[in-house]
Structure 1
Amino acid sequence: MKQGLSLRVSQHLALTPQLQQSIRLLQLSTLEMAQEVEQMLDDNPFLERASDEAEREAFGLEHSDAPVSLGDRMVEWSEADGPASETDPGFDPAEDAIPLESSWEGDGCVDLRPDDSEWGGDAPARHGSRDDDDTLTAADLASEHQTLQAHLHEQALALRLNDDERCALYFLIESLNEDGYLAEPLEALARALLTQEMHARALSLDAAEQAEREAHWLQTLRTALHWLQHMEPAGVGARDLAECLRLQIMELRNSPVAQAALAMCQQPLELLARRDTRRLAQLCQCPEDTVRQALALIARLEPKPGRRFADVARQTVIPDVIVTPQGRGFKVQLNPEVMPRLRVQDVYANALRGSRGETGAGLQQRLQEARWFIKNIQQRFDTILRVASAIVERQRSFFLHGELAMRPLVLREIADELGLHESTISRVTTAKYMATPFGTYELKYFFGSALGTETGGNASSTAVRALIKQLVASEDPKKPLSDNQLSDLLKEQGIECARRTVAKYREALKIAPAHLRKAL
């Protein structure tokens, strides 16, 4: 075996910690980004939220590197160290402007930099949560959301119940799901109540006593369920959809149509879903005309009684980008509400200048992490803005005429235009939203595959879905369009779209098949 030395040149990509953090921040949603900022504020003492607002001419990395005078920075902490002026012995005019290094990858320097100051000045300061000692105002009380459970508890206060009945009713109300249904069987709830009672009173019961007490709670729960199912909204406390519909029908006046609807809800729900009037008429022994009227009545009922108590504010989508008309074009800007206003704590950074040893090295690393975090956030929003601007430029027809004018667009086109990788564009467009004159959409909404046309061009799949929705909205309710008919209508407009593709798009739009859309 002969030994020797050889030299080989190779290239490999190493992901530095700051690059890994940049990639991770890029794919976070607005809510996840806010949580990440709060976590970093708690962990890193050198990072703080700016308390005052600063005007910025524009957003971008190139504007964040503008030199800031030392005197302006010293104003922020002059209350602790005294006013800084030219008469002070420590004032040096030569340090009035400090250049910023071109690299932000991290060089271990802990000197003050212009970019350590406030970032995101257009964003208003976030108001802290109200202290427990503060008094609630009328506006605060009016804006508070009322849950289904709170609404039912208010009604329960008007009932004359003994302690066990009130306990059972409270337990049932708290056991309801967000739709207002009672998913757990009464037997399981009775056993849970017995366990709580034995634990609270430190009781030791034998098997016979436990069975007797469990039977008592089961009977009490049945009584409480009777009271619950007579509360508002109608249908609350139902165990399944059929019972929910029956409870709502019983609240209506007694009429032949209501009686027929009540009898139909006792039949298999598949017949109601298929609108099989002939079979329902045979099972309920009612005329088909009455069955049709009963089906129309059932269609007006609420299948989810707790729907109107849902907290809509929690489900509100906050856009990352706002697009507004401006002259003959459109203005694309970041939403200042989602831009965190962060800066490096200048006082701590100055105190760290002369520190040495292991403690100083560890603190210097935390200071550098704070700078990396601010820079990565800047880069994240700058990339989102660039991608959003490119999308608006490519989909200009959409912003002028709506979704019917959407053009085919793939991630590769935006990646090639901006000089980024497709995976980067995918991260940017995931869970990021754009507010447009036609509504708020996810950035991925503007990307769609191409369908061929008779003229040799391409039509966007998003525009085809919008066209299908328009055709279904204008159809005759008594003669709804089938998937084959929709495919033929699209071909008449020069769009080659097979029946399977139409069915896939229709299901994506949550449009029922033709036999379920047919009016009775």
Structure 2
Amino acid sequence: MNTSIVLQARQVQAPVFSPRLQHAVRLLQMSSQEYAQALRDAAELNPFLEIDTAAQDDVATAAPAGSELDAAADIEAAAAFDRITAAPASGERHLSHDESFDLMQRVPLPDSLRTHLHGQLGVLRLSAREMAFARALVEALDDDGYLRISLEDIGAALGETGADAERELRTALRRVQALDPAGVAARDVAECLCLQLDAASNHASEGTRRLARRILEGHIGLLAAHDAGKLAKALDASAQEVQCAIDCIRRLNPHPGWQFGETASRIVIPDVTVKKVRGAWRTSLNASALPRVKLNTGYAQLLEKHGAQCTAMKECLEQARWMVGSVSQRASTILDVARAIVARQKMFFEHGPLAMKPLGLREIAEEVGVHPSTVSRTVHNKYMATPAGIFELQHFFSRGLNHAAGGASAPVALQGLIRELIAVEKPVAPLSDAALARQLAQQGFRIARRTVTKYRQSMNIDPFERRRAQGGEMGAPA
């Protein structure tokens, strides 16, 4: 019997990210506050990097409100920092040769929900592809712990489309939803609480948890209205059983991400501003959102004269130069993406939420000339100040809902339409979610009652039972 061993060589394309590129990705995804702190920490660790307080004062006193600071000007400003001559500070720091000089990697990051989840993923036995999908989902979570971005958009950001990629993303979603804290990566409140029910076995019986799940999946409106009587009738259960299920739900946490960091009380600093100037919408960077960094050229000159053989210090200087450049690159990317969003959503700025158009990451990526994943990271935790208020850049992205007459509308537009329908309803006879769905259908938008309920809840509008009670109180004689 002849046995032969055949060796086959295959070429496989797989992305390989250097530590510096990985850090650049993290910097791009940070909010203004996180990035500003990272700059300050880096300046403390790196003797060649310092905060330019004079530049900050110049911005505060010389730049008029809403002034245009485009990418070219920002890059020129960063380059000008290299030409500023500064005297060496007293108490020069000396670092040992065996100390790690990858200082940017030593910048401490706050203990966040994402780092907590990434730590759990790190101990799972997953393939590189499975891990990439799971980590992408973790990065897409908001501070509440919810997944507000569709799987389709996440797949597009990863460059993975089709049925197979969607199936793998759904598998990855189940893996992330199984992590601690319970309820993480849910798409809405009902799913978040349902994910926590299985972990509530020590506090409630199986029958109570099953009833609680039925309430969350089909009667969350009655739950929000505190109408236990109607819940009992709808579920064909006793009042005591329903109350036990309600008590079980009340012990759950609708904001699983809040235990990581102080997201509930954080201050939002807009990264860009949008205003109308001479009939055109102008988008500019908020120059005061970040501290300006520059090279300490005095130290750099000393190194050139006396430290020619000090490889570690040369690496330190190189990292400082990279950091200064990354500030300009980050600002340029944010501004390009924001301008592209404003151009695509011009009708929103002109006429309000009803004119919001569907918009995908890939559209902006093609216009800016970057990968969709770069756009995804750019819009994360970045805010835009507009005449209508401050919005997260992610607010302008959504999948379209088809209209019967053709075309599509963004969910934000439908939310605005629902708000208008409720605003003109009769106080003593408010519209139920089913009635709202029927009125939307008459206008060409065929959406399910549950979708209307989700939109109404996202706008913090009471269910029709409570609005009817409030209307009755307002109409009652004094």
What TM-score results when the alignment is normalised by the length of structure 2? Answer: 0.55
Looking at structure 1, the residues matched to 400 and 433 of structure 2 have their Cα atoms a distance apart, in angstroms, of: 20
Conserved in 2, the CA contact under 8 Å of 1:434 and 1:440? yes
2:442 paired residue number: 492
Distance 1:428 1:455 in 2: 35
Aligned partner of residue 270 in structure 2, secondary structure: coil
Asked if the contact 1:275/1:516 (under 8 Å) is kept, the reply is no
Q: How far 1:475 sits from its partner (Å)?
A: 1.5
Question: How far off its partner does 1:370 sit?
Answer: 0.8
Match of 2:283?
332
Match of 1:386 in 2: 336
1:440-455 aligned within 5 A: 440-455=390-405
CA contact (8 A) 1:387 1:414 kept: yes
| Equivalent residue, structure 2, for 1:474 | 424
Q: Determine which of 47, 60, 64 is the counterpart of 2:71.
A: 60
Give RMSD over aligned pairs.
3.8
Q: 1:451–1:459: 8 Å Cα contact kept in structure 2?
A: yes
Q: Quote the Cα distance in structure 1 between the aligned partners of 2:402 and 2:7.
A: 60
Give ranges in structure 1 of 5+ residues lacking alignment: 81-269, 277-310
8 Å contact kept, 2:437–2:452 = yes
Residue correspondences, number: 296
Please say which structure displays the higher CA radius of gyration: 1
Map 1:187-226 to 2 at 5 A.
none
Tell me, yes or no, if structure 1 residue 428 matches structure 2 residue 378: yes
* Greater relative contact order (Cα < 8 A, sep 6+): 2
Map 1:106-505; keep pairs closer than 5 Å. 273-274=226-227, 315-356=266-307, 360-505=310-455
Q: How many percent of aligned residue pairs carry the same amino acid?
A: 38
Helix, strand or coil for the counterpart of 1:325?
strand
Change (3 A) 1:495 1:73: same
Q: Indicate how the Cα distance of structure 1 residues 452 and 37 shifts in structure 2: closer, same or farther if over 3 A, else same.
A: same
- Flag the 1:335–1:405 CA change in 2: closer, same or farther, 3 A: same
1:22–1:79 CA distance, 2 compared to 1 (3 A): closer
Q: Is the 8 A contact 1:398 1:405 kept in 2?
A: yes
**Structure 1 residue 8 displacement after superposition:** 8.4
- Cα shift at 1:400: 0.3
Contact persistence 1:410–1:449 (CA under 8 A): yes
**8 Å Cα contact 1:322/1:435 also seen in 2:** yes
After superposition, the C-alpha distances for 1:339-367 in whole angstroms (9 at most, x for unaligned) are: 32110001000000033476x11111111
Q: 1:503 to 1:419 in 2, by over 3 A?
A: same
Q: Give the distance between the partners of 2:282 and 2:352, measured in 1 at CA.
A: 17
Alpha-carbon shift at residue 514 of structure 1 (Å)? 1.1
Aligned partner letter, 2:337: V
CA distance in 2, matches of 1:337, 1:357: 37
Bigger proportion of residues as helix: 2
Q: Distance in 1 between matches of 2:334 and 2:359?
A: 17
> Aligned residue for 1:31?
33
Q: Give the conservation status (yes or no) of the 8 Å contact 2:401–2:411.
A: yes
1:517 Cα shift?
Answer: 1.4
Amino acid at match of 2:291: P
Paired with 2:79 and 2:392, the residues of 1 have a C-alpha distance of 37
Structure 2 CA distance, aligned partners of 1:503 and 1:419?
Answer: 38
Distance 1:355 1:315 in 2: 46
| Structure 1 residue 321: Cα displacement | 0.7
Q: Which amino acid aligns with 1:431?
A: N
Answer whether contact 1:61 1:378 (CA < 8 A) is retained.
no
In the alignment, what sits opposite 1:154? none
Alpha-carbon contact 1:25-1:377 (below 8 Å) kept: no
Q: Distance in 1 between matches of 2:444 and 2:82?
A: 68
Give the TM-score taking structure 1 as reference length: 0.51
Given that 1:48 and 1:345 are in contact with CA atoms closer than 8 Å, whether structure 2 keeps it comes out as: yes
Superposed displacement of residue 65, structure 1: 5.4
* TM-superposition CA deviations, 1:28-70 (whole Å, max 9, x none): 1112112211211111111011132368984325863589899
Aligned mates of 2:465, 2:7 — CA distance in 1? 79
Cα distance in structure 2, aligned partners of 1:439 and 1:67: 30
Letter in 1 for 2:18: T
| SS of alignment partner, residue 324 of structure 1 | strand
The structure-2 alpha-carbon separation of the partners of 1:467 and 1:357, relative to structure 1 and needing over 3 Å to count, comes to same
Q: Report the 3-state secondary structure (helix = DSSP H, G, I; strand = E; otherwise coil) of the residue aligned with 1:350.
A: helix
In structure 1, C-alpha distance between the alignment counterparts of 2:327 and 2:74, rounded to whole Å? 14
Of 455, 465, 470 in structure 2, the residue corresponding to residue 515 of structure 1 is 465
Change in 2 beyond 3 A, CA 1:451/1:66: closer
Residue type of the alignment partner of 2:46: N
The amino acid across from 2:305 in the alignment is G
Residues 366/4 of structure 1: CA separation in 2 closer, same or farther (3 Å cut): farther
SS at match of 1:353: helix
Query: Quick one: distance in 1 between partners of 2:285 and 2:51?
Result: 19
- Mean Cα deviation higher: 402-411 or 486-495: 486-495
1:492 maps to amino acid: Q
Q: Aligned partner of 1:349: which letter? A: A
- Provide the rounded CA distance (Å) in 2 between the counterparts of 1:448 and 1:70: 40
Determine helix, strand or coil for the equivalent of 2:47.
Answer: coil
1:485 positional shift: 1.1
Instruction: Please report how far the alpha carbon of residue 473 of structure 1 lies from its aligned counterpart in structure 2 after TM superposition.
Output: 2.1
State how far apart, in whole Å, the 1-side matches of 2:34 and 2:351 are: 34
- Describe the superposition over 1:210-235 as per-residue Cα deviations: whole angstroms up to 9, x where unpaired: xxxxxxxxxxxxxxxxxxxxxxxxxx
CA gap of 1:514–1:364, structure 2 versus 1, over 3 A, is same
Q: Which runs of 5+ in 2 are unaligned?
A: 91-222, 230-261, 473-478
Q: Deviations over 1:68-114 (max 9, x none)?
A: 8999745x54999xxxxxxxxxxxxxxxxxxxxxxxxxxxxxxxxxx
Instruction: Give 3-state SS (helix, strand or coil) of 2:438's partner.
Output: helix
Taking the aligned partners of 1:355 and 1:415, their CA distance within structure 2 comes to 46
The aligned amino acid for 2:318 is Q
Separation in structure 1 between the aligned mates of residue 337 and residue 82 of structure 2, nearest angstrom: 37
Q: What are the superposed Cα offsets for residues 298-348 of structure 1, whole Å, 9 maximum, x if unpaired?
A: xxxxxxxxxxxxx99954421111001012211100111213211000100
What is the identity, as a one-letter code, of the residue corresponding to 1:339?
A: L
Give the 3-state SS of the residue equivalent to 2:338 in structure 1: helix
